Structure 1
Amino acid sequence: MAERKPIASAPKDGSKVTIMWTDGDGVVNESVGQYRDGGWWVYTDSNTQKKVDPTSWRPASGDDDEQQ
């Protein structure tokens, strides 16, 4: 698994990455998200998107540089 990086270094070109964010109840979540429209967005279910304030990121699953 790729190491987490500061969110400031995440790509803002619309590509999908795995981000870590905290919800309103203080629960830490890890979701695939993307930067667009001036912020980070994740799907909370198959039809609902939410703008979040992530703290870190790593390449989305399948995009890791680790090869075996």
Structure 2
Amino acid sequence: MTDRKPISTAPTDGSKVSVMWKNSDGVVSESIAQYRDGGWWVYTDSDTQKKVEPTSWRPASSDDED
């Protein structure tokens, strides 16, 4: 597994990356995200996207995107 990096170093070109983020209940999640429209967006289910404030990232593997 690839080491996590500070979110400030993540690509903002629309690439998909794996990010760690914390929800309003304090639960930490890892999700595939894209930077667009001035923020990081993840899918919470197949139809719903949510803007999140990630703390770290790593490249998304091809397995993550299935």
Band of TM-score, shorter chain: over 0.9
Say how many residue pairs are matched.
Answer: 63
- Measure, in 2, the Cα distance between the counterparts of 1:24 and 1:44: 14
What are the equivalent positions in structure 2 for 1:1-68 lying under 5 Å apart?
1-62=1-62
Identity percentage of aligned residues: 75
Tell me the CA shift for residue 61 of structure 1: 1.7
* Structure 1 segments (4+ residues) deviating >4 Å: none
Distance 1:54 1:6 in 2: 9
Max Rg structure: 1
Return 5+ residue gaps in structure 1 as ranges: 64-68
